[in-house]
């Protein structure tokens, strides 16, 4: 995770971002610290990246890399405003002694567009990741990559439209309206029992959730998801990241998962 010390909305690269709307940085920091402390209270280890003044979106650390089996595929950002974040992540991984750290050739924004299940890597395309990054990830990780077409600019990253709830049982939740008809059919085929989210819950960025297989941390405004999650045996934990929503991100965007 990366604290939002320098979080700002000075440019707009997704429909949630309005540079005319003020951001309350102390509030953003408090909200972010609450999320970080929740993870720690649940027994998870959280490492922190050092934020940079010129990189206001660095708080969305999920975009900086994808880590599976301890192997790190770095990011290459679609927009110039975020390009320099990639090197910060690579440097962190190298400094931590990760042996396999690859700089990608094709555009991918880390876990923004890559979601990992036990069987597959689900990979979004349409707004950010290059379709060519899918083959690159498949080759690097040796896992089948399933390409999914995103069609609604509000759900510009896969992690705004779908969340993995249990990466051993391949349980997911998603908002169908974010996907092309063909990709919706693929999702139905792969995940016939998925939790299907409503438009209202997706619009509260409810799909931008992180699950450890039991606890599901998600934006508290996605009220329609809490009961269905409980019925499936999960413990939903609502989090208020209202300030970061102004950048188009929430729980998952702020969290890069290190899969060993």
- Residues 89, 134, 157, 246: which binds ligand ARG (CB under 6 A)? 157
Instruction: Give the burial string for 76-96 (b: 16+ CB within 10 Å, else e).
Output: bbbeebbeebbebbbebbeee
Q: What is the largest distance, in Å, between two alpha-carbon atoms of the chain? A: 45
Tokens of 18: 């309005």
Q: Would you call 200 exposed, middle or buried from its count of C-beta atoms within 10 A (0-12, 13-18, 19+)? A: middle
Contact 150, 139 (CB under 8 A): no
Comparing C-alpha atoms, which of 75, 166, 170 is closest to residue 120? 170
CA angle 91, 38, 68 (to 5 degrees): 40
- Residues 86, 129, 245, 253: which binds ligand ARG (CB under 6 A)? 253
- The catalytic residue positions are 157, 253
Tokens of 201: 């819950």
Segment lying near ligand ARG (by CB under 6 A), choices 9-17, 24-32, 38-46, 215-223: 9-17
Position closest to ligand ARG via CB: 253
Give CA–CA dist 87/2, Å, rounded: 14
Q: Is residue 160 near ligand ARG by the rule CB under 6 A? A: yes
C-beta closer to ligand ARG: residue 17 or 151:
17
C-beta closer to ligand ARG: residue 160 or 183:
160
Segment lying near ligand ARG (by CB under 6 A), choices 22-30, 54-62, 97-105, 234-242: 54-62
Least Å distance, CB 18 to ligand ARG, is: 11
Q: Is residue 159 near ligand ARG by the rule CB under 6 A? A: yes
C-beta closer to ligand ARG: residue 23 or 232:
23
**For ligand ARG, what does the binding mask look like between residues 95 and 124, x meaning CB under 6 A?**
-----------------x------------
Tokens of 195: 């939790």
The set of residues, in sequence order, having a beta carbon less than 8 Å from that of 51 and lying 6+ positions away, is 2, 3, 4, 5, 6, 58, 59
**For ligand ARG, what does the binding mask look like between residues 186 and 205, x meaning CB under 6 A?**
--------------------
Q: Which of residues 10-29 bind ligand ARG (CB under 6 A)?
A: 13-14, 17
Give the interface with ligand ARG as residue ranges (CB under 6 A): 13-14, 17, 57, 60, 62-63, 82, 112, 157, 159-160, 247-249, 252-253
């Amino acid at each position: 995770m990366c604290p939002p010390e320098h979080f700002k909305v000075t440019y707009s690269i997704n429909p949630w971002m309005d540079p005319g709307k003020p951001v309350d940085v102390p509030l953003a920091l408090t909200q972010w610290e609450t999320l970080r402390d929740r993870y720690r209270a649940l027994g998870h280890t959280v490492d922190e990246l050092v934020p940079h003044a010129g990189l206001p979106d660095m708080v969305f650390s999920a975009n900086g890399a994808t880590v599976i089996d301890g192997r790190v595929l770095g990011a290459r950002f679609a927009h110039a405003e975020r390009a320099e974040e990639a090197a910060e992540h690579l440097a962190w991984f190298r400094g931590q002694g990760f042996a396999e750290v690859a700089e990608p050739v094709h555009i991918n924004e880390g876990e923004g567009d890559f979601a990992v299940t036990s069987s597959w890597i689900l990979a979004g395309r349409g707004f950010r990741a290059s379709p060519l990054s899918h083959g690159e990830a498949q080759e690097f990780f040796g896992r089948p990559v399933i390409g999914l077409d995103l069609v609604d600019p509000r759900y510009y990253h896969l992690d705004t439209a779908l969340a993995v709830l249990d990466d051993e049982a391949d349980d997911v939740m998603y908002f169908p309206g974010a996907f092309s008809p063909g990709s919706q059919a693929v999702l139905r085929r792969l995940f016939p029992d998925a939790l299907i989210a409503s438009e209202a819950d997706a619009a509260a960025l409810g799909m931008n959730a992180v699950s450890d297989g039991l606890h599901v941390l998600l934006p508290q405004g996605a009220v329609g998801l809490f009961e269905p999650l409980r019925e499936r045996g999960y413990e939903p934990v609502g989090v208020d990241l209202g300030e970061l929503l102004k950048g188009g991100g929430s729980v998952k965007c702020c969290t890069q998962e290190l899969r060993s």
